[in-house]
Structure 1
Amino acid sequence: MTKPYRLILTLASLTLAVGLQAQGLVSGSMNYGGTVVDATGDPLPDGNYDLAFSIYSQAAGGMPVWGPQEFDGQPGTGHQPLVAVVGGRFSLLLGPIDTSGDPISSAFNGTSTGTDSRYIEVIVQGTALAPRQPILATPYALSAQGMIPIGSIIAHHLDLSSAADLSRITSSGFALCNGTTAASQGVTNPVITGALPNLNVGNGSGRFLRGTTGTTWAEQGDQIQGHFHALPNHTHTASSPPHNHTMTQTDHIHEITTGEGSAGSRNRAADADSSSTPQEASTNGTTASVTINSSAVTINNTD
């Protein structure tokens, strides 16, 4: 006949704050202990006993969310040495894995709702003890509830569905910050592959952006690069005080119209090219139309 047992719980504390395990601050085990008595209330005789443990989400029935872990002295995954019982009392560490290789932290992985509970079932020498014992959080675990682990990135809070992949950004220039989504440009299911480049940049002091090829931009230092300004056909209109125009060019025509100043002005024009002597003409006190080309300078009075 199977001898009935009862469990008097003296200690059951969760020393694993789920989420901290990844940081290596605590071991992936659970400290558990109690006193086992027989039907008359007498403690179990001293000795080594076969105990098994499973964790459930309900007080009775159902399937375990973790376990069993066997303390039966047998080899294999999830098996441990027999448990020493002295004066009916025992103490042990549950975990880190059960006979299926699942870590004990998987029973507390945060996928359950806030109303879920956890119960531990103890089997002594093949007899399941009833009722199952509820598992309560330690103050340490209560304090950690809902907190972000130090130095961690909570990946499931990020939505990268509309992010452009790095290859598109680096090959075609900067992404526009105008509300355009990457998805509208044909980017779907973005994935970052390969080694990331150095993403650290300076403060940009003394630098500006210049064009290179196409629509791609590159950072440029303070030194001004060689460049030119295209000058379309245009007209210069000058007023007092009297001043000089000096022009250097070959094989072209300047036409200059000057006006008379209050004290009489001197209208003068000069030109030369690489193969001839300077050409010049001048007049005083009159409004003139001055025409200069590579072979002659002409002043026509317009009074």
Structure 2
Amino acid sequence: MKHFFTLNLSVLVGVLILLSFSNISAQQTKKISLQGFLKDRNGKAVADGDREVIFKLYKTENGGTADWSETQTINIFGGVYSTALGSNANPLDGLDWGNSTYYVGVIVQGTELLPRTELTFAPYSLGSPKAQEVVCSGAVGDIKYSILAPDDFIKVNGSCWVPMDGRTLATTDKLRTAVTGGLNQIPDGSGAFIRSQEFAGKADRDPNRTSTSPIATLQADDLNSHAHSASLSVSGSTSVDGYHNHSMTPAMSFRGDGTSATNGGDGDGNSVSNTDYAGNHQHTITGTASGSTSNAGGSETRPKNLNFWVYIRIN
């Protein structure tokens, strides 16, 4: 059950309480699970940390003397706390559950938050197994994110919720037949992002699914097709080289008397000469180069994110 409490305090102005009985038997100590939300005078959650709170049970909605009292140091996170009345040395067994109506009083910093909350267990008695169960929140097929680990989550949300870990559904689980076409196994949400199903005729943000695609199916990793542009050029020139000359022996020689001879002989005026040195030159080089970029980055492609436990209601 949910109730808002208002009080003109400089530190605390409200508390939201959820009440239920924990699993007990006739031989076990009775406990009442309680979850609350503490806000300051501006409606904001109080600071995280430990805070001393006194819980009392009265037979009257206003005034009167408490039949039971317990002081606890509770941890508050995001304004929310969870505890169980009867956890300390003062048990709940001595109260007249069968004939009396009880109201919960919450005292913070010496002031009681009003109005008190009535404990109601009808149509079950306190000793009934049904009265001892946490009433399941939500509806079959709902999914919840939570900071509570599985054991803690079940205590305040009920055993009809399970981690979305890919487990096989029992034949008696309601989720098995609630899904059109049947569902034998819940999806494995371990480390996966959850994405909305495409609606017919709406924004097509999931190019690989449609409104008729099977629900709760895992989509493999992918990276949108893209390209990287690169421009590389090579230019330069060869070294200057090729400087050389040639020796030359004339095929016609001249004698000393001024006559010529086709083949030179002794006494001819033949000589061996070298050509001038020349031939230095170079070549210009232009072209392109190809290759690939080096690897960079981490082990996956992902946006900034927060990790939470994910649960699904199966009953």
TM norm structure 2: 0.34
Higher relative contact order (CA 8 A, sep 6+): 2
TM norm structure 1: 0.36
